[in-house]
Structure 1
Amino acid sequence: MWSRPISQPARKTLVASLRDALRQQIESGHFRIGERLPSEAQLTREHGVSRTVVREAVAALRADGLVEPRQGSGVYVLEPEAPVPAPFSDVDMDRLSSVIELLELRTAVEVEAAGLAAQRRSPSQEEYILECLRAVTLCNSAGRNSSEEDFALHLAIAEATNNPRFPEFLIMVGANSIPRRALDSQTQVPMAERYGEMINDEHDKIVTAILNGDEDAARAAMRTHLRGSQQRYRNLLRGTGG
């Protein structure tokens, strides 16, 4: 009796189902590390699928690093590879040297972001940048922890580049990269009034240049701001010997 071949979408569903079933058996320990999987013929019988489906499912497991075919012997379960840590997940913000490393990286990215924001910002983005500036200025003037508001301002500038990779980068680095946050956790020393005024002035120069559409001044102001933060942390590092 003639029968139609399995369609491509149907076969893909069968492959995915078998792949997931075998993965679950491997991860649960039903098939242990170094153990050989059942033969192609056994898997065909047990799961009611064709040899083609079995081969594709095994190939998918191999691509995921879960199994390894060995010539003339069969397919064996591999020890899972150690997961690759997410970017910046191993940064120790209690170490001043880690803060300096992130500030150097941020400088490389955010100086250009400020210049692009001066070129490309929209009226609504200008308005939001000003809102963020007012919020961080109020916090600094009151001597309160301004790390969240500071990060929001830098993120607003990154978003005003209208290149999504800039805000993605800042979000990936995270709010912990804001110097004030790290400094507070490191020293538990309240921010001096003079320091708050200095940061407010630096922020104001960055935002003014962006709103004026002055790319060069925006880059220069952002560079001064972030390099100043680097220097303050280097001075602290030398002073503490940490």
Structure 2
Amino acid sequence: MTIDADNPAPVPAGGRRRETLSSQVIRTLADRIRQGEYSRGSQLPTEKVLIDELGVSRTVVREAIANLRASGLVSIQHGVGAFVRDDAGIPPFRLAPERLTMVENQLKGLELRIGIESEAAALAAERRTQVDLDAMAAVCDAMDDAIRDVVRDSQTDFEFHCAVAKASQNEHFFGIFNYLGETLMPRMRLQTKDVEDAVFQANLARVNAEHRLVLAAIAERNIDGARLAMRQHLTVSRDRMIERMRRGG
């Protein structure tokens, strides 16, 4: 296969520029990776092999490899070469913000949290340190202050769940909760802006009481109890959301 290097990007009559040489090489190599011709974990052909096969310059090949690296398809081992990443072609998990404006999709996100955070709480009960317990207790105390002052945000709620995830001693639980919490909680916060102060305080007090039940189970190293307490806490939130959906609010 040889890419036309003599006239890589003429402007046709329609005024639309054709692909540059580097773009053509990027597309060719990316297609080979996605189609499995270059399998995950394998080393890409050397620069010389690609230059000879594609009929392009070393500069073009290097630009293409740099782009594939930036796109997450390849990694570079200096002095060795370029390798197809093990996760090449797998799209990163994300919740589309435009879809989360719908309550139904917030509900799906909350259901995902139930599964993830229940297990994080169980691991926290097994692995927590005193520092972890102190952090969770401090957040519960801060939420008491927020209740008293009618602070209408979800920051202390978010911080408690972060503290539980950290106590699992598994950075992946913390990473995915941090993403889910930052994505979902601001939208859930908007639903409280028109709630009367007394009702808001009562709801937040119930939430914090549930937090303290989770904390107590973790402190006692009650693995099953921590898992159940977290599941019940988030399930109640899910059920309230379902009820709002039924009422059309």
Which bin holds the TM-score, normalised by the shorter protein? 0.5 to 0.7
Looking at structure 1, the residues matched to 114 and 222 of structure 2 have their Cα atoms a distance apart, in angstroms, of 18
Partner of 2:18: 34
**C-alpha offsets along residues 165-189 of structure 1, whole Å, 9 cap, x if unaligned?**
01100122243423xx434413632
**Cα distance change on mapping 1:182 and 1:37 into 2, 3 Å:** closer
Looking at structure 1, the residues matched to 219 and 145 of structure 2 have their Cα atoms a distance apart, in angstroms, of 20
Deviation at 1:146, TM superposition (A): 4.1
Q: CA RMSD in A?
A: 3.3
Please give the residue correspondences for 1:220-235 in structure 2 after superposition, counting only pairs within 5 Å. 220-235=228-243
Looking at structure 1, the residues matched to 17 and 154 of structure 2 have their Cα atoms a distance apart, in angstroms, of 47
Q: Structure 1: state its 5+ residue gaps.
A: 1-24, 27-31, 39-49, 66-83
Matched-pair contact (CA < 8 Å) for 2:118–2:227: yes
Q: Structure 2: state its 5+ residue gaps.
A: 1-7, 10-15, 23-47, 70-90
**TM-score normalised by structure 1 residue count:** 0.64
Looking at structure 2, the residues matched to 91 and 110 of structure 1 have their Cα atoms a distance apart, in angstroms, of 24
Amino acid at match of 2:95: F
Deviation at 1:96, TM superposition (A): 1.4
Matched-pair contact (CA < 8 Å) for 1:140–1:200: no
Identity over the aligned pairs, expressed in percent? 28
Matched-pair contact (CA < 8 Å) for 1:94–1:182: yes
Deviation at 1:211, TM superposition (A): 0.8
Q: Give yes or no for the alignment of 1:128 onto 2:135.
A: yes
Amino acid at match of 2:139: C
Structure number with greater Rg is 1
Q: Give yes or no for the alignment of 1:54 onto 2:57.
A: yes
Amino acid at match of 1:186: Q
SS state of the match for residue 218, structure 1? helix
Q: Give yes or no for the alignment of 1:195 onto 2:207.
A: no
Matched-pair contact (CA < 8 Å) for 2:152–2:193: no
Looking at structure 2, the residues matched to 198 and 174 of structure 1 have their Cα atoms a distance apart, in angstroms, of 19
SS state of the match for residue 101, structure 2? coil
Amino acid at match of 2:187: A
Partner of 2:95: 88
Looking at structure 2, the residues matched to 112 and 92 of structure 1 have their Cα atoms a distance apart, in angstroms, of 27
**TM-score normalised by structure 2 residue count:** 0.63
Instruction: Report how many aligned residue pairs link the two structures.
Output: 183
Please give the residue correspondences for 1:150-229 in structure 2 after superposition, counting only pairs within 5 Å. 150-178=157-185, 181-186=186-191, 188-190=193-195, 192=199, 193-229=201-237
Matched-pair contact (CA < 8 Å) for 2:136–2:160: yes
